[in-house]
Structure 1
């Protein structure tokens, strides 16, 4: 059974093919930003040829995509209409009155300056439900819904979101309004808040549902067109998509809930980082995925991959209440552009040259200096070895870009300007690493730093020094690690419902209501897995109570015991919450009142994971067969040293590569500075540490 993982980045599309256990091929092709599916299809056909199989032999394709992410960043989503309860038309404009920058009088409020739904398309509807049971106070004015549909058609609306107050208690009005909208606009993309995120907090619920409608039409078209294109090429494989929570789902599910794949691309990298960290025997990992456009950073303690707190789940400055792997993204990559700002300050990023035109050295029309150009000038990237020679690069163009835009205006030497670019980008990434670790009570000295992505291993040791990480682990195929993560994760769906109860004083009736809600959600999750062809025997369910201390603003996850929640075992949930609070904040109120806000059922089905091949043992042999040649290379200290190059594919388990050295492979290049040594483990990881 052949399986393919394909991850689309800003510059390159990465692929991995597993034909049988421990028989693996990797490949990279340039991304095609105008239509990602072109690069995806090209890469799939090429890697099948590399592996010597027919495309029809592929049974599973798992895809990580940035389509939904790019829509939010570029603000080019659908024209959205919203139906909402009369009097609440401006909820998504008002928000929570949070100031992005407390002491600035010139800040931008994205949800107001770039609203997901224009005010003229937010139409109030007469209806009203009341808490705590969702009883109908004012029936739905169906004629107003029909009039709104006509208005939407006049305004060119292609997606409609329906968000009524207290619909998480009773969704009958939202369901009926959706039926009416589809009668008048059968081709529209329509979603309700109770379908997308059935939880309390009207602003976050409205914003999340609006985001789903904003990215939904283009995302669903992309996924369905990709599936169709694969079939036209004779590829009948099941197509699965990586979600923001680290699980995979079907095209149909991700099309209906496009908001769940906003972080589809970066999630695969975190999963892949954990996979190789476990192989290297290091459970505490800081992953740094540096591609052409951005750097994605996540801290993974031995307890496992962390999911963001709901208060932090923002995408493009918009709150999105869907589970996301805890990571941060900054504009720092190989294509990040070095420039002088209006005040003459030397800056790098966040703007990127991307795949087109790319860095100046690509000779595709780019003239601005980038991080990649700096690596070329410093002799760390060899012009005839980039991507195994598949992508020739031009040293003179890199030199001219840095000289004309940075070195000459600042009166610096070319080498100092190039080193400055590297030092600035490393400083930016080190600050981001600290914000995801030290600022959250995690000591990087107990963690290994794992750099990957095409550019990651060039920066690994410098970043580890900056944050005092224990060592550097460079995975076997750094440029493909995110794609590898796609083949080592499981199917996963999450279903939620708001159920409010203070556990300390909960009555049996309240516990019965919680148990009924949990059973309903479990049945809903089981139906979803069955629709995806997963037999009942393979279903796995985890029950989570999202709790807070009574009066707190947001919740933390606490695992619930198996079976029904009872007076005897409710303390287990409370203890789990106290422990989670202690882990996240360093303290807990063991005698405090614990309030359940939301039930979450996580449904999973295991997918057979990729088996990475073990490496042949060196058995005392020399690394000489891996030696390629030596060239001058400039290191962060400013030293210019004659530095040997080694072919990573010829290194064996147990080999040690002393610095200074450059280890070259098709999808990435690893820099080993003076005073360091890179040791090869049984699974081809390079463990880089001080000598």
Structure 2
């Protein structure tokens, strides 16, 4: 089995190749924003050429992409229309009367300024089904539907979202509208709320379905074009795409529900961190995944990823009520631009130079100083990146920093560069505290897991400031998202709203509904050619105490639903609630809001490989030295620092800081008074000295 993982980021695209013989190879190319598939194909072909592998020998390609997310953030989706219950076409405009900033009178509310479906393209039609059982109150007016579809066709609407009240209880009207659309406008992209999100809360359901329509045509086109390009170049590999809740989907499924691809990029890094950390003696980690544009942070207590609450899953200000692993993201990366704002304050990010024009030192037309420019000036980065394939020009970095930062602030070159790094680090420290301390976790009890192309450049400073004792640097930190991709399973999530109290539960209905969802999940995995022995079906439920307004996910045992099933579910909910909020209420009835089934197609994990034992001569890995600038007692201190080639390390090697470690996909900085230890799998665990080099 030959597999390849491809993660398309804002600045670089990362690749990893693995096979059953234990061969692993990583690669990195610049992202091509105008068409990400160009950079992707360049890297896939380069790995095949490098390893002398025929294109048709690649069996599977696992792909993490930001194409769906970028469309939402940049407001560049398709022209989407909506058919809804008469009188309710403004639900996605009204929302929940909440504003991102409560007291601003000039704020542009994203879902109103940039609606996923323009008001002129939203049509209300006569129909109504009602709670609690989805009985039809008003029949569907099919002529009104046809008129709306014909009008949208004339207006060249590219996608249609169908969202009716209570369709999660009875989808018959939405299904009939789908049939009419196929008759009247067969080429349009169709998104039904009863298929995308068959759950209560009409605003979130309508917006999520609208988002699915908004990104659907372009995402589907991209996936089809990618498959076609691969086929034309001789590849026969099955394509899987990473989803936001931690599993991959087939290309066909991803085209149907592209909303599940939103924020899928950072998830690969989380999965890669879990797999890597299991090869150390550490159980609690906080991931710091720094790329060219952003930094992604996730708290993994006992190496278990937490899921975001469905009311907190937002993308660019839009509610996207789909399962997502809890990852916090800020605009802090190697391309983050340093500047003096209108008030005279020194800031870094969230604006990024991206891949084009990139930081000034890339010599691609960028004139604004970025974080990578500062690391070049400080000597932490060399003058060649990507294993020597990318030349860097320090003189351009010096010019940008002095013109935009140094001279306006009256600072010399090194003070200005250290200032950029300090602000960048502080931005990440604040986000880590937000993700950990505010949720009851003490970061001092965690190790910092450094990944992404720039994570290990900043990790020692960030960890020391937070009082953390260790930093973990995986074997391929710059390609960790790609590592996570090839270590994940095929996974689908199916749900249904129930609204049943544990004190008055209808066991027959629960049993029937779980069986229905399990069949959907099983059939989907069979369509994807998964063998029966590799299919795992898991039941969960979204529960809350009677009277609460939010739910928490708990596991549910399989088999026929009985009162024993309900009692075990209640006990799990009490435990989860107490762990999250510090208390439980065992005398209050538990409400089963939604039931879920997660269907998993098991894909063989990447087999870890041990490296050779060392003889205590770490100096054999030294390839040079240069002056590197650190902060000591609040001032720049220039230190001659050894440069190591990571590929020459052996198990048991110890690297005394200060040290710079080079590899193709990243550069690792071990600060003064810190020590790095290479374990049996080539993973570096850095001990952080509290005394440190910084003031």
Task: Give the TM-score, by structure 1 length.
Answer: 0.98
RMSD: 1.1
1:511 to 501, 507, 514: 507
Partner of 1:630: 625
Deviations 1:324-370 (A, max 9, x none): 11101111000000011111111110110000111100011110000
Q: CA deviation at 1:139?
A: 0.4
Measure, in 2, the Cα distance between the counterparts of 1:401 and 1:395. Answer: 10
Residue 693 (structure 2) aligns with: none
| 1-structure distance, mates of 2:581, 2:100 | 23
1:545 Cα shift? 1.0
* In structure 1, C-alpha distance between the alignment counterparts of 2:620 and 2:50, rounded to whole Å: 25
Residue 680 (structure 1) aligns with = 678
Aligned match of 2:406: 407
Aligned with residue 567 of structure 1, among 563, 566, 574? 563
1:26 Cα offset (Å): 0.6
What does 1:82-93 align with in structure 2 at a 5 Å threshold? 82-93=82-93
Deviation string for 1:430-489 (max 9, x for gaps)? 111111111111111111101111111000011111222231001111111110100111
Q: Secondary structure at the match of 2:120?
A: helix
Change (3 A) 1:489 1:257: same
Cα displacement string for residues 281-340 of structure 1 (whole angstroms, at most 9, x for unaligned residues): 222111111000111111111161111111211111111111111101111000000011
Write out aligned runs for 1:468-507 (5 A): 468-503=467-502, 505-507=503-505
Name the SS of the counterpart of 2:333 in structure 1.
coil
Kindly indicate whether the alpha-carbon contact (under 8 Å) linking 2:469 and 2:688 is maintained by their aligned counterparts in 1: no
Tell me, in whole angstroms, the C-alpha distance in 2 between the residues paired with 1:21 and 1:462.
38
The whole-number CA distance in structure 1 between the counterparts of 2:388 and 2:631 is 26
1:593 to 589, 596, 600: 589
- Confirm or deny: 8 A CA contact 2:241 2:254 kept in the other structure: yes
**Judging changes above 3 Å, is the alpha-carbon distance between structure 1 residues 485 and 670 closer, same or farther for their aligned structure 2 residues?**
same
What's the secondary structure of 1:639's corresponding residue?
Answer: strand
SS state of the match for residue 450, structure 1? strand
Match of 2:269 in 1: 269
Offset of 1:553 from its aligned partner? 1.3
| Corresponding position of 1:616 | 612
**Is this contact kept in 2: 1:17–1:48, CA < 8 A?**
no
Question: Are the equivalent residues in 1 in contact too, given 2:534–2:603 (CA < 8 A)?
Answer: no
For 1:420 and 1:558, the matched residues in 2 are separated by 46
Task: Please show how residues 661-676 of structure 1 align to structure 2 within 5 Å.
Answer: 661-676=659-674
Q: Can you list the C-alpha shifts for 1:169-216, whole angstroms capped at 9, x where unaligned?
A: 000000001111121111100010001011011001001000000111
Identify the residue that residue 692 of structure 2 maps to in structure 1.
none
Distance 2:10 2:141 in 1: 47
Work out whether 1:338 is the aligned partner of 2:333: no
Partner of 1:451: 450
Is the Cα–Cα contact under 8 Å of residues 17 and 51 in structure 1 kept in the other structure?
no
Map of 1:243-282 to 2, 5 A cutoff? 243-282=243-282
User: Is residue 487–residue 606 contact of structure 2 (8 Å, CA) maintained in 1?
Assistant: yes
Gaps of 5+ in 1: none
Deviation by residue 1:224-272 (Cα, 9 ceiling, x = unmatched)? 1001100100000111111111101100100100000112211111100
Contact kept? 2:287, 2:299, Cα under 8 Å: yes
Between 1:311-320 and 1:13-22, the stretch displaced more is 13-22
Conserved in 2, the CA contact under 8 Å of 1:23 and 1:613? no
Question: Aligned partners of 1:194, 1:626: CA distance in 2, in Å?
Answer: 59
Asked whether the equivalents of residues 526 and 536 of structure 1 are also in contact (C-alpha less than 8 Å), the reply is: no
Question: Is 1:377 aligned with 2:368?
Answer: no
Residue 173 of structure 1 corresponds to which residue in structure 2? Answer: 173
Is structure 2 residue 538 aligned with structure 1 residue 542?
Answer: yes
Q: What SS class does the counterpart of residue 471 from structure 2 fall into?
A: strand
- State how far apart, in whole Å, the 2-side matches of 1:42 and 1:514 are: 50
8 Å CA contact 1:21–1:612 kept in 2: the answer is no
Aligned to 2:687: 689
Alpha-carbon shift at residue 612 of structure 1 (Å): 2.8
- Matched residue of 1:339: which SS? strand
Measured in 1, the distance between the counterparts of 2:303 and 2:333 equals 29
Structure 2 counterpart of 1:211: 211
C-alpha separation between the residues in 2 aligned to 1:586 and 1:112? 38
CA distance in 1, matches of 2:605, 2:299: 22
Displacement of 1:412 in angstroms is: 1.1
Cα distance in 2, alignment partners of residues 283 and 50 from structure 1: 36
Asked if 2 retains the 8 angstrom alpha-carbon contact of 1:558 and 1:573, the reply is yes
d(CA) in 1 for partners of 2:256, 2:688: 50
**C-alpha displacement of 1:541:** 0.9
8 Å Cα contact 2:641-2:660 kept in structure 1? yes
Equivalence map 1:388-403=2 (5 Å): 388-403=387-402
Range with greater deviation from structure 2 (632-641 or 454-463): 632-641
Distance 1:206 1:439 in 2: 31
CA deviation after TM superposition for structure 1 residue 22, in Å:
2.1
- The Cα shift of 1:561 comes to 1.7
Give the 3-state SS of the residue equivalent to 1:212 in structure 2.
helix
For the residue of structure 2 that corresponds to 1:588, the secondary structure is coil
Contact 1:21 1:611 in 2 (8 A): no
Supply the distance in 2 between the matched residues of 1:64 and 1:89 (Cα, whole angstroms). Answer: 34
- Residues in 1 aligned to 2:610 and 2:276: alpha-carbon distance in whole angstroms: 12
Structure 2: stretches of 5+ with no match in the other structure = 690-695
Q: CA deviation at 1:387?
A: 1.8
What CA deviation, in whole Å up to 9, does each residue of 1:581-626 have, x standing for no partner?
Answer: 12222222122221011000000011011123211111x3301110
Aligned pair count reads 686
Mapping of residues 205-244 of structure 1, within 5 Å: 205-244=205-244
Check the 8 A contact 1:289/1:453 in 2, yes or no: yes
1:323 counterpart SS class: coil
Partners of 2:585 and 2:127 in 1: how far apart? Answer: 41
**Is the Cα contact below 8 Å between 2:464 and 2:688 reproduced in 1?**
no
Which residue of 571, 576, 579 maps to 1:583? 579
Q: How many angstroms apart in 1 are the aligned matches of 2:465 and 2:160?
A: 48
Larger deviation, residues 148-157 vs 210-219? 148-157
| 1:515 aligned counterpart, secondary structure | helix
CA contact (8 A) 2:369 2:401 kept: yes
Does the aligned pair in 2 maintain the 1:478–1:668 contact within 8 Å? yes
Contact 1:363–1:397 (Cα < 8 Å) also in 2: yes
**CA 1:421 to 1:303, structure 2 compared with 1: closer, same or farther past 3 Å?**
closer
> Retained in 2: the 8 A contact 1:7–1:482?
yes
Equivalent residue number for residue 30 of structure 2: 30
Give SS of 1:687's match.
strand
Q: Secondary structure at the match of 2:59?
A: strand
Contact 1:158-1:189 at 8 Å conserved across structures? yes
